Amino acid sequence: MDERQFVAYLKDKFPFHSGLGIGDDASVVRLGKYFQLISTDILIEDIHFRLQDLSLAELAEKSLAVNISDIAAMGGQAQYFYIGLGFPDGLRPEALRAFFSGLSRAAKKWRVDLAGGDYSRSKKMFIAVTIVGQSKKPVLRSGARPGDWIAITGPTGGSALGLKLLLAGEQNSPFIRLHKRPKPQCEKGLLLARYAHAMIDLSDGLLLDLSRLLQASGVGAEIDYEKLPVPPHFRRLCRQKNYAEKELVLAGGEDYQLLFAISPLQESRLRQTGMIYHVIGKTTKQRRLRVLENGQPLKISHFGFDHFLDQSDKKKK
């Protein structure tokens, strides 16, 4: 059972009667004039992070950031959150204070309140955050239509590059900072709520998250690799270290940029707001995902994207 089958299994087994449940960045429930958005994310020691790589304050900040990003991806405003914390016995009491001090600073920065939680000692540390937000008009993954532009709010691959450097024993790099301290795109998310057809945050890699949006919308896409924002110092470092640039840009995770689909008319309006974003391709009726470089298709199956292609191939037959 791969992830998509698992989500389909759960959606089938657990119908949600109060709104939109499983399958988007957050659930959506109408409450009077607005919609309540709720999302939950877990971070586990030695799966999602290693304690030696970042401070407990950074870890607290990151656990909040990735949840706020889910609300931003719906075009919503995060309001408050709940934390379930498993904390290793071996850590000293000061460590707990360091964690909550970092959490408090992050909460103030993003203007969200801690509303409750549960705490226990545990062998490995884990952090389960549930965040509550609201929106007047949530942007779902499923709203893209053929002929939309596809755009992203900023470069991808930087966090994955930072992780590679960290695992190689480096300590100081702007990319390592990107990895440790991701920035949810709150303001852009709110602005995009007025223009975008569909939106998702980039947590698991550009192609995987894009394929989720396309799948939900029932469309395909053509992306031009040349249009992707790849900063020169990123490109230089990849060449220097002999890292696969395209793999990092297309399949590296934890960028927390927003990816959205937008009609050409709305895009021309969005341009006038001055918000920085990058159009990287367009949606197609044909339900497959292609990445072109100088007009030639890249073999994206290299990045683990067979299943999406297989699925659309089956439908064509």
- Nearest-5° Cα angle at 48, 109 to 124: 100
The phi, psi pair for 255, rounded to 5°, reads -80, -35
CA-CA distance, 261 to 239, in Å (whole number)?
A: 31
Per-position b or e across 120-159, b if 16+ CB within 10 A of its CB: eeeeebbbbbbbbbbbeebbbbbbbebebbbbbbbbbbbb
Residues from 64 through 93 that contact its own copies (CB under 8 A): 79-80, 82-86, 93
135 binds its own copies (CB under 8 A): no
Q: Which of 120, 242, 272, 296 binds its own copies (CB under 8 A)?
A: 120
Residue 263 CB burial class (10 angstroms; 0-12, 13-18, ≥19): middle
Task: Please say which residue, 2 or 316, places its beta carbon nearer to its own copies.
Answer: 2
Task: Please say which residue, 38 or 56, places its beta carbon nearer to its own copies.
Answer: 38
Site stretch for its own copies (CB under 8 A), options 21-29, 54-62, 218-226, 293-301: 21-29
Site stretch for its own copies (CB under 8 A), options 11-19, 175-183, 275-283, 298-306: 11-19
221, 281 Cβ separation under 8 angstroms: yes
Site of tokens 């950074």? 58
CB of 5 to its own copies, least distance (A): 10
Residues from 40 through 59 that contact its own copies (CB under 8 A): 40-42, 44, 46-48
- Nearest-5° Cα angle at 30, 24 to 35: 65
Q: Which of 17, 92, 314, 317 binds its own copies (CB under 8 A)?
A: 17
Instruction: Give the binding site for its own copies (CB under 8 A).
Output: 1, 6, 9-10, 13-19, 21-22, 26-27, 29, 31-32, 38-42, 44, 46-48, 79-80, 82-86, 93, 96-97, 100-101, 104, 107, 113-124, 126, 128, 130, 132
